[in-house]
Amino acid sequence: MFDRSFGSLFWGKLLTVTGTLVQSIVAAIVVFEATDSALMVGLVSVFQFGPQLLLTPLAGKWADTYSAFKQVLAGRGLCFVGSVILAVWAYLVPDPDSGRDVVPVFFASCIIGLGFVVGGPVMQSMIPRMIRPGELSKAMALNSSPMTIGRVAGPAVGALLTVHFGAVAAFSVAVFTQLAFLILLFFIRFPAQPERLATTDYSVRAGLRHVWSDRTLLMLLAVTAALGFASEPSVTLAPPLADHVGGAARLVGELSSAFGLGALLGLVLLSPLGRWLSHAAITSLGIWIMAGGLVLSAVSTVAPMATASFAVAGFGFMAAFTAAATLIQERVPDVLRGRVMALWLIAFIGFRPIGAAIDGVLADVVSVEFAFAVSAALLALTGVWWRPGRATASVPDPAATPVGDSVVPGRA
């Protein structure tokens, strides 16, 4: 946490994740109040995370071949611009009351999403090159901490600022956090790119071929996609659930913060659990706990019950997510890390807009309870499909051998 490079990245991510979640929850509140539609709230996530589906594989190729510093700087710069647009819009349009009024929110969210595309894969892929041997498990836990802490602080701060000071103040806080991370980038000693080999295929296709050849890795990416899909209700469905149980804007922030508090507890307990259970077993356990939390959300009728359900879901999410991410990093050859982690980002973030759209439609057309139940059912199916024994397949040799235009992994 206090190493110049890893520590600067850690604190920078903590600031920017918190700021991003501040603006995400405030955008959800503002859009829902203006349109009274869960689908319109879901569109915020669609525009923010949609670019991941199309452009992240290309960014993964860049992560394996070009300057890490320039990519991270460009990505954070785009996020900063998107945050500024949101703050300016909130100042110019203080009382939006229609779908047309909130269109700039979708545009700004798309700019922020492009920032995630440009800088996301390289920030994930360079983690193993910034640490010493034997530190990967702890590094991955710390790498997940900013998201966890941000899930606690971001929604609470965003809702509090919106209620007492308005959306402009909340969006301005997000601008400050993005700017702070941009400054911290200049304190990081970015790891050197691996030597570019003439015999190695650096195409997106080579990354896809490797994932397809390692079925355990493919399953872990599918588990990550299910977790990303099932985590979206904590944002998209928080406003309609708060309305359903008789809450207001403050309860929206409390619900999302409860998800973050549960995730923080899951992160704290991950190391003790690791002494008794394998990462594969923790992944399975977390999936089932998260599914149980979503079922509890579906049957919630009062605010305390809804808040508790979000905490349970957050605990299961973080336990499964971090354990699965560690398993993925352990399996990936360094020469392919950027492209594989780009696919990991697609799995986690790229499927969130799909989840947001489905959640919004189901909540508007059927009910918010049914929308939670669908996410719970998906996770239950994932839990049945993923078993700890599936992770015992041979692990590709990290020193992958480049052959011709492809990478042929050795076998342990």
pLDDT in tens, 156-170: 777 778 778 888 888
Q: How far apart are CA 249 and CA 225, in angstroms?
A: 29
Query: What is the tens place of the pLDDT at every residue in 233-284?
Result: 887 888 888 888 877 667 877 887 788 888 888 878 877 887 888 888 999 9
What is residue 121's predicted lDDT score, i.e. its pLDDT?
Answer: 76
What is residue 299's predicted lDDT score, i.e. its pLDDT?
Answer: 92
Amino acid identity, position 25: I
User: Which residues is 411 bridged to in the sheet?
Assistant: 396
Q: pLDDT averaged over the chain? A: 81
What is residue 3's predicted lDDT score, i.e. its pLDDT?
Answer: 80
Q: Are 69 and 12 in contact (CB under 8 A)?
A: no
- Choose from 117-121, 196-200, 299-303 the range with maximum mean pLDDT: 299-303
Q: How far apart are CA 83 and CA 150, in angstroms?
A: 16
Lowest mean pLDDT, pick from 10-19, 41-50, 88-97, 110-119: 41-50
Specify the DSSP element, H or E, that contains 403.
strand 401-403
If pLDDT is split at 50, 70 and 90, which confidence band does 77 have? very high
Q: Could you tell me the pTM of the whole model?
A: 0.68
Phi, psi (rounded to 5 degrees) for 195? -60, 130
Query: What is the tens place of the pLDDT at every residue in 390-408?
Result: 665 555 554 444 433 333 3
Q: What is the 3-state secondary structure (H, E, C) of 130-146?
A: HCCCCCHHHHHHHHHHH
By percentage, how much of the chain surpasses pLDDT 70? 90
Tokens of 45: 């996530």
Q: How far apart are CA 406 and CA 387, in angstroms?
A: 30
What is residue 370's predicted lDDT score, i.e. its pLDDT?
Answer: 93
Query: What is the tens place of the pLDDT at every residue in 321-363?
Result: 888 988 888 888 877 877 887 788 778 876 777 787 888 889 8
Query: What is the tens place of the pLDDT at every residue in 289-315?
Result: 999 999 999 998 888 999 999 999 999
What is residue 400's predicted lDDT score, i.e. its pLDDT?
Answer: 44
